[in-house]
Amino acid sequence: MHSASEQDTAPFVHAMGRALPPHYASQEQLIAMLRELWATRHFNLERLEELHRAVQVGGRHLALPLEEYPALVTFQQRNDAWIRVATALSEDVVRRALAPAGLRPTDVDHVFFVTVTGIATPSIDARLVNRLGLRDDVKRTPIFGLGCVAGAAGLARAADYLRAFPEHTALVIATELCSLTLQREDLSIPNIIASGLFGDGSACVVLRGARAGQAGPRVVASRSVFYPDTERIMGWDVVDSGFKVVLSAKVPQLVKDHIRGNVDGFLAQHGLKREDVRHWVAHTGGPKVLEAFESALELPTGALGRSWASLREVGNLSSASVLFVLDETLRTAGARPGDWGVVMAMGPGFCAEMVLLRW
């Protein structure tokens, strides 16, 4: 259990921002485009529609206008588009997060940038230094490859840093452009599901150390869990045309098997039980994943309402999704002082990350 003095050193989630690319397509428009694309390949088009409707996504924001995607054939073309759009979107989301907090880019001491949908060296965070006017002594930690878990993991790693530097301010930027990874030649069920589930977007969290400013919930603790021998559950195969999705149907079952014990063990360390948690912030993995969270944790009806709404409105944004849900929680949950919250996400590894918040 954490002592009062340990809680006093816990950093704060000070402010947040989210940004979506301006190009929006409804699920109907996307199904129509993919039907056309895959019609010549003797693929069962009814199955395509069935899988797309099963993910319960109403539509998604896209990095590019729909008509520009057919020209993207090579990995370089996809990745060049990713660098261009990810840089602009990340700049936008940082400005949206800092302004309401009354902070300037020069107030930022450390930038954590997470993504899994493109690669760049210098990384996107480096490209933001000039564009935002960050200080020349800003620390940068780009994190690639954690996938859907990276929003929660980024929050946890930034909080770890701020315990050591309690007077500092850190940003966690999660920018994912999943639409640029779609493999048109891949007619596997995982790729068809991915083409219906994943969307594009960016989120930014402003975290401040205990001595830097006190607003928002504190990040009291975090816990990482790695599940042995699950490397093929989720991830990418890097192929000539880019990132080819690896997505196992076993994900919901893994959640069902493990998440209750993981969450209960994590809460018990802090003298808490599930019923003490008022705010559940779950990654929008998909309907089966959210149902698995609900049943395994025996959550009350509506506990994951914000996750379900985010899934319907924008799809699964990989690492940014859990932060979209956290932002919505901060804005609309009516949290009171003393409330507990748990942020949870899972991703390639296969692994989970849990973050304990206290308002």
Q: Give the active site residues.
A: 148
The phi-psi region of residue 347 (left if phi > 0; otherwise alpha if psi is between -120 and 50; otherwise beta) is beta
The phi-psi region of residue 318 (left if phi > 0; otherwise alpha if psi is between -120 and 50; otherwise beta) is left
> Residue 179: which residues within 8 A CB-CB, separation 6 or more?
60, 62, 63, 64, 69, 198, 199, 200
CA atoms within 13 A on the CB side of 70: 7
Question: What is the rounded distance in angstroms from the CA atom of residue 162 to the CA atom of residue 150?
Answer: 18
Question: What is the rounded distance in angstroms from the CA atom of residue 177 to the CA atom of residue 314?
Answer: 12
Question: What is the rounded distance in angstroms from the CA atom of residue 262 to the CA atom of residue 278?
Answer: 18
Helix (H, G, I), strand (E, B) or coil at 243: strand
Helix (H, G, I), strand (E, B) or coil at 15: strand
Nearest C-alpha neighbor of 115 from the set 76, 155, 154: 154
